[in-house]
Amino acid sequence: MKVITLVHGRSTHLANLIKGLESSSLVPEGLWIVHMNEPCGEFDSPRFPIHTLQVNEPGGLPLAKARSAVTDIDPAADWVFLDVDCIPAHDLLAHYRDGLSDRPDTLHLGQVRYLPEGASQPGWDEAALYERGVEHPLARYREGPGRDVPHHLFWSLNFACSGSTFARIGGFDEGYTGYGGEDTDFAFRAREQGVALLDNPAMAFHQYHPTYDPPLNHFSDIVTNARRFYSRWGVWPMEGWLQAFSDLGLLHWSDARLEIIQAPSAEQVAQTLNTQRLGF
């Protein structure tokens, strides 16, 4: 079982991800770190090999292209996709191994607990992460391990699939750049191909970083990616964010129309900084 993570900055978060994998009950075959729009780093672990590669895209962070690198690395492997912000629990890989052994033809969606600011400072242990981590509110719509998850709830922070399933779906659409929409598009194409999305108990802890609510810091990417999504599926993704942007007078948004009135000012972006320090 191989692990891939994408990184742009976040060196401390990446070090904690590696530390989590080193405590894993199941040793990964390797960790592949995809550096987006930055030079490759140098990493070493006594438990597993670490590989690096670089993906550049002047127009924004190439998230989709970076994830699709697995098809060039080893399209026959079982892959675990971890966001760089995630610290894997010691049994995460074992849970994914069991899930993929039982249902190799599906997407397996792990669990995420969000950590408050300071929870992943040096000296953290897994018991403390469980104690301080909280579920995302949308987790209440999941019915438990082994059960089907509605495809629109897919999130790429923590999931696993076989290389053949990834290829069957077609990977992530590289036409999406920056933040927003590519996850839901991937899940909708999985549904179109008859690939189920299953709840898996594999737990990861999302390390704190500043967030914005609504995410005006990603305004341009979200609008561009929403239009791309609508052109394919005939429905709008990220409706809550689009409505919030519209309520702020930044968009004209209707059933079939999305037009920018004006971009948010630096002051407006700053005002949406989430002060709860929970990471979502």
Q: Is the pLDDT of residue 277 over 70?
A: no
Q: Three-state SS for 1?
A: coil
User: What's this model's pTM, rounded to 2 decimal places?
Assistant: 0.94
pLDDT tens sequence across 8-56: 999 999 999 999 999 999 999 999 999 999 999 999 999 999 999 999 9
Both tokens of 21, joined, read: 């994998």
For the residues of 49-111, what is the DSSP string, one character each?
-EEEEEE--TTS--HHHHHTTHHHH-TTSEEEEE-TTEEEPTTHHHHHHHHHHH-TTSEEEEE
- Distance CA(197)–CA(194), nearest Å, equals 10
The identity of residue 18, as a single letter, is I
For position 52, what pLDDT does the model report? 97
Q: Is the pLDDT of residue 126 over 70?
A: yes
pLDDT tens sequence across 156-184: 999 999 999 999 999 999 998 888 899 99
For position 141, what pLDDT does the model report? 87
| Helix or strand holding residue 4 (H, E) | strand 2-7
CA distances, 94 to each of 25, 70, 130, 265 (Å): 7, 20, 18, 46
Q: Under a CB-based contact definition with an 8 Å cutoff, are residues 228 and 203 in contact?
A: no
pLDDT tens sequence across 191-202: 999 999 999 999
Both tokens of 99, joined, read: 């899930």
* pLDDT-based confidence at residue 80 (cuts at 50, 70, 90): very high
Instruction: Count how many residues are written for the chain.
Output: 280
* pLDDT-based confidence at residue 71 (cuts at 50, 70, 90): confident
- Distance CA(167)–CA(105), nearest Å, equals 11
* pLDDT-based confidence at residue 280 (cuts at 50, 70, 90): low
- Return the domain boundaries, the chain: 2-206, 216-271
What is the share, in percent, of the chain residues with pLDDT greater than 90? Answer: 84
Please tell me the class of the 2-206 domain: alpha beta
pLDDT tens sequence across 217-259: 999 999 999 999 999 999 999 999 999 999 999 999 988 899 9
Q: Return the residue matching tokens 């990471």.
A: 279
CA 71 to chain centre: 18
CA 155 to chain centre: 5
